[in-house]
Structure 1
Amino acid sequence: MNKLVATAAQAVADLPDGASIAVGGFGLCGVPQTLIRAVHDTGVSGLRLVSNNCGTDGRGLGILLEAGRVARVVASYVGENKEFARQYLAGELEVELIPQGTLAERLRAGGAGIPAFYTPAGVGTQIADGGLPWRYRADGSVAVASPARETREFQGRDYVLEQAITCDFALVHAAFGDRHGNLVLRRSAANFNALAATAGRVTVAEVEQLVEPGELDPDRIHVPGVYVQRVVELTADQAADKPIERRTILERTTR
C-alpha cells in the first residue's frame, strides 16, 4: 500500500517513447510542473498528450513541445502557447481539438470503464461530420482530417457518439495526499486533475503536502487511492512553483 516514490525522476523513469499521457491542470493552474520537468529530463519523445491545453511557452507542457517531444495532442484549445500554434500550423504536430465538456466526459468515461457515450455537443459541425484538420502539411493543406462520427436521434434530438479516453500514464497535482494514494485537490486547481487521474493506467501524483493514512477526511477525498499508483512529495520550493498565465490588475481609482 505504500505508493510513495522518492523523486519525480524515479516516478516517471519507465515512461517509454510514444506513451500516451493524460495531464491535469487548466492553463497553468493545477499543472504537475515537477512531473512534467521530470518527463522532459528522461529524453522520451513521440508523446501523445491529453490535456485541456498544452501549457504556455516555457511552462507546463510547453517545455515538452519546445523540445520536440510531442507527436499528438488532444485538447480543448491552443491557448496562449505560440509554439503550440506554430507546430500545428506547420504540420509538425497532430492536434485533435474537441469541446471542453466533451474532453472532460471522455476522460471520466475512460476512468469509469464506459467505452463511449452520446452527446449533443458538436452536432452539425465538423466534430460530427468530419473534416476537422488534425494535421497539416508544410504547404498548408490538410494531411490528416477527423473522421465522421456516428450520430443518433434520441427523443427528437440528434447526438454524436464520442469514445472514452484512457492513457498509458496520467500526471496530476494535488494539495494533499497520503502514501496510499488518496488525494485532496484545492479550489480551481482541481479542474482536470481528478478526471486525468482516473483515466491513466499508471497514475503519478505530485502532492504539496504528504500526510499519514487516516488523516484525510474521507468526505474530502477527491481521488481515491485505487486510481493512483505512485505518489511524489514535493519540496517546499516545488510546491510554491505556481506561475500565473496572465496577470490582470484592476487599476485602483480614488474618489
Structure 2
Amino acid sequence: MNRRQFPAWAAYCCTIVALGGCGEFTLPDPNVHYIAFGDSTTNGPSNRNYWDILRERLGEEPNRFANEGKGGESTEDGLPRLQQLLAREIYPNATTLLLWQGGNDIIQFIGRTDSLLIFSPNSADYPFDNQLDEQLDESQANLEQQINAAQDAGLEVYVATQFPIREQTGTCDPLPLDILLAPQAVNANVYVRRLNERIRLAAQNTGATLVDIETRSDEITSSNQNYFDCNHLSEEGNAIAADEFLKAFEANAAME
C-alpha cells in the first residue's frame, strides 16, 4: 500500500469501526458455495473435519467451502450468529448450508440438572421431565429458525443428527471428574436420541434435507479409532459422517 492509498484505507476502516468494529469486518468471499455451520462437530480437534472430507469427495476446491464452526456453541447462540452471517452476505454465491448443531444444548442441560448423569430420561423416576421437554422444544425451535433463515436466503439446507458416545469407561472433559463411566454413557446416549428426534422433526417441519448420522451409530461406536475423545469424532469418525452427508447429496441429485 502506497502513501496515497493509506489515508483512504484509514478512513474506510474508521467507518467500519463506527459501524461495528474492524474485528467483526470480513470481506465477502464470492468463491464459497457451501457453508458448514455448527459447533465443534464442524470445527473440532481432529486432523480433518467432516466437511473437508465431504469437499474432497464432491471434488470441490478448498475455497468452495467455508468453515463456520464455533466450538462450545449452543443453538441459542448459533441462531443469531447465523442470522447475522446471512444478513451480512459474506458468502454471496453460497448455495448450500450444512447445519450440525445441538449437542452443546444437551451438554449444558446435563451440567445444570444432572452433572453426574445419575438419571436416565427413560426412567419412570426421572426428575427433570418438564425441564428436558422445555430444552428440547427450545433446541428444535432454534434449529427450525436457523433453517428458515438459510432457506429465506436461498440456501439448500442439510441438517444432521448427533452421533452417540461409546458406552464404556474413559476420560471425558465435560464431566465434573473428567471421567465417564459406562452407565453414565448409556444415560448420555438417551439424551442424544431425544435430541435427534427433535432434529428429525425440525427437518420435517422445514423441508430441510436430513442427514441422519445416528443411523451409523453401530459403525461409529464399533471402534475407539472413530473418536478423538469422548464427545468428538476423529478423522476416521468424521469420514463416516462425511459419507452420510454425501449420501444425502446423491439422493437429492437423483431426484432432480
TM-score, normalising length: structure 1: 0.30
Structure (1 or 2) with the greater helix fraction: 2
